[in-house]
């Protein structure tokens, strides 16, 4: 089911389509994961699914099925499914089986919390539901859990999330421009002034770009994929070859052909030292290597040696990088 097609359907029609899709012999893990994300997106979807499971047992309801199913196909599918959809209890059991969740799963709550790190500091946080969060330097995160939701806001900086599976309560992380919903997965969010970058290392997440009065734009990201979001919308989904985007958790900065000015901006996230350049040519030099985040001086010395640059200290807590022959 495409995102455009889903937007054209009511919640009830979407639910009926999901029943059809999940009853198909070809339905697999990806289908169940996407269904869990859809179900957790709103209480309207949850209520629509309850209604759809009840309606499925009524042959009159087959006329609501989308995607051009023929009457014979619809009636045959309904007859085949009649025995396990005959009562509300059976419907609940089927829904739980699809989600691979135990019935009557507890929904713990905790008071709203705020976590922050200072410049050069990194910290790990264990939440009540056993989700784990790693906060990068100069970052701030607020956490608000209820019986039905797990809402987090990355106020600034960068964080890595290892989400405890609980499909009955969506785990959503928001920045100023985007919402990221996860179902038992691990991902990294890097919030900058103009952009937010999301990298998935495990499982699946839904990334939704919020828009003022228009429809939201969303994309599904799988493991080893990342996307950059700005005010204009979602960027292209990219493949992630290694663990470069989460190397900060090991105290490292990995660069593969990165312009020197971009590498310097990354180092400045972990130190009060400001890095300047003698000219645009120096700023644009390409850098590759692995550099320690907690030792800015050591990293700068390594960069200077590899690019044949000279480091000139300045009196305003900054350094100037120049060509060695200057």
Work out the pLDDT band at 111, boundaries 50, 70, 90: confident
* Span 276-281, average pLDDT: 94
The H or E element spanning position 311 is strand 309-313
* Span 273-294, average pLDDT: 95
* Span 124-133, average pLDDT: 95
pLDDT per residue as tens digits for the range 136-163: 999 999 999 998 899 999 999 999 999 9
Unique residue bearing structure tokens 């989400």 = 163
pLDDT confidence of residue 177: 92
Average the pLDDT over each of 27-41, 180-194, 245-259 and give the range with the smallest value.
27-41
Tell me the two tokens of residue 229: 């979001």
Work out the pLDDT band at 56, boundaries 50, 70, 90: low
Contacts of 227 (CB under 8 A, 6+ apart): 197, 198, 207, 219, 221, 234, 235, 236, 237, 238
* Span 161-175, average pLDDT: 91
* Span 39-62, average pLDDT: 64
* Span 15-33, average pLDDT: 73
* Span 80-109, average pLDDT: 41
Work out the pLDDT band at 53, boundaries 50, 70, 90: low
Query: Do 141 and 159 form a contact (C-beta atoms < 8 A)?
Result: yes
The H or E element spanning position 10 is none
pLDDT confidence of residue 29: 66
pLDDT confidence of residue 16: 75
């Amino acid at each position: 089911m495409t995102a455009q097609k889903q937007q054209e359907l009511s919640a009830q029609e979407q639910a009926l389509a999901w029943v059809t899709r999940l009853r198909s012999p070809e339905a697999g893990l990806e289908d169940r994961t996407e269904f869990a994300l859809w179900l957790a997106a709103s209480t309207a979807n949850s209520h629509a699914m309850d209604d759809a499971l009840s309606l499925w047992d009524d042959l009159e309801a087959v006329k609501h099925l989308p995607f051009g199913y023929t009457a014979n196909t619809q009636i045959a599918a309904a007859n085949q499914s009649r025995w396990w959809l005959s009562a509300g209890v059976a419907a609940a059991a089927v829904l739980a089986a699809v989600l691979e969740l135990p019935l009557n799963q507890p929904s713990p709550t905790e008071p709203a919390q705020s976590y922050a790190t200072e410049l050069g500091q990194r910290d790990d946080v264990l939440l009540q539901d056993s989700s784990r969060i790693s906060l990068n330097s100069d970052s701030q995160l607020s956490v608000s859990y209820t019986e039905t939701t797990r809402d987090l806001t990355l106020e600034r900086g960068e964080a890595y999330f290892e989400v405890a599976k609980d499909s009955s309560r969506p785990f959503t992380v928001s920045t100023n421009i985007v919402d990221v919903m996860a179902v038992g997965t691990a991902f990294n969010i890097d919030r900058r002034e103009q952009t937010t970058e999301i990298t998935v290392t495990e499982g699946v997440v839904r990334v939704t770009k919020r828009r003022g009065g228009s429809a939201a734009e969303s994309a599904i990201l799988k493991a080893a994929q990342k996307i950059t979001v700005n005010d204009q919308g979602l960027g292209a989904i990219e493949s992630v070859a290694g663990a470069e985007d989460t190397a900060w958790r090991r105290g490292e900065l990995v660069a593969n052909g990165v312009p020197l000015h971009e590498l310097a901006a990354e180092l400045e996230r972990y130190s009060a030292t400001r890095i300047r350049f003698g000219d645009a040519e120096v700023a644009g030099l390409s850098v590759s290597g692995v550099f320690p985040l907690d030792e800015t001086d050591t990293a700068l010395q390594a960069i200077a040696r590899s690019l044949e640059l000279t480091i000139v200290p300045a009196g305003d807590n900054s350094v100037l990088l120049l060509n060695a022959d200057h």
